[in-house]
A and B are shown apart, each in its own frame.
Chain A
């Protein structure tokens, strides 16, 4: 049994896993040990069943187009310039904020234009009256409703 225990790990060894010396020792032991031959046959049978089952499961799966799908995903996720790609993703994720941010300078420019157009040139102040009468006197009365301008009766000289 001590010999059997030593050779047990080698019973399921695949082709090339054992050296020629190890393979020779195992074959000599199997030739003289019926129990180990039975165990080795059982293990080979189980191994064959598992392999066969996996092969059948794989065969049921349709792998046609698998490579194309993988390549399509690789192409879709092709990294562009990092900063631009991240900026684009951010814009797509925050559309409202992005639009607001983009329109803010436009709104500021509009407010400035409106302010400038409404304030306009300063011009003469309200209530300023400049009367020129050749040879006649002029009187300006200021009221809250507006100015009243009187011209004198004296004839021009």
Chain B
């Protein structure tokens, strides 16, 4: 009976411990893209996975400017530098089993968005107004 009680106590202790998944952050892949109305229709090979979303837009030429992958902890903002020098602030407001809610802010352009996507989805978000037929976007993918 003592061993039984010990086993039960051990189970309860293990259950009470925080799981590694809960303690760890969420890996997030952030890509900066430029869409242009000029030039030949072309999409960088590294952006093929975004084709279903990019094809909905009127830009015909898509170029990847930079890419970064970080592990974001919920509630802790991360800053990314955009090509024009402005900052993109990204915060995971909530991470659930299959969904995550992002807060995206570009103070220089007075833009703030909150988006909830499932684990297998990605966000494509314009972060600067179009200029000379080109616009800058970011794509955000959790658990890439």
Collect the chain A residues with CB atoms within 8 Å of residue B99's CB.
123, 126
Contact of A103 among B8, B96, B118, B124 (CB under 8 A): B8
Complex Cα spacing A138 to B111, Å: 9
Q: Please tell me if B126 contacts chain A, counting CB pairs below 8 Å.
A: yes
Complex Cα spacing A147 to B125, Å: 8
Decide if A143 touches B52 in the complex (CB within 8 Å): yes
Number of contacts between A and B (CB, 8 Å)?
A: 119
Decide if B15 touches A145 in the complex (CB within 8 Å): no
Collect the chain A residues with CB atoms within 8 Å of residue B42's CB.
none
Number of interface residues of A (CB under 8 A): 42
Contact of B53 among A91, A98, A138, A143 (CB under 8 A): A143
Decide if A103 touches B12 in the complex (CB within 8 Å): no
Residue of A nearest to B52 (CB): A145
Hey, what's the 0/1 contact readout for B100-135 against A, CB within 8 Å counting as 1? 010000000111111111100111111101100000
Q: Is the interface of A mostly helix, strand, loop or mixed?
A: mixed
Complex Cα spacing A148 to B122, Å: 9
Complex Cα spacing A152 to B126, Å: 9
13 A-B residue pairs with Cβ-Cβ distance under 8 Å, sorted by A, are A91-B1, A99-B7, A102-B8, A109-B15, A113-B15, A123-B96, A124-B116, A130-B115, A131-B112, A141-B57, A147-B117, A147-B123, A148-B124
What is B's interface to A at a CB cutoff of 8 Å?
Answer: 1, 4, 7-8, 11-12, 15, 19, 22, 50, 52-53, 56-57, 94, 96-99, 101, 109-118, 121-127, 129-130
What is A's interface to B at a CB cutoff of 8 Å?
Answer: 91, 98-99, 102-103, 106, 109-110, 113, 117-121, 123-136, 138, 141, 143-153, 156
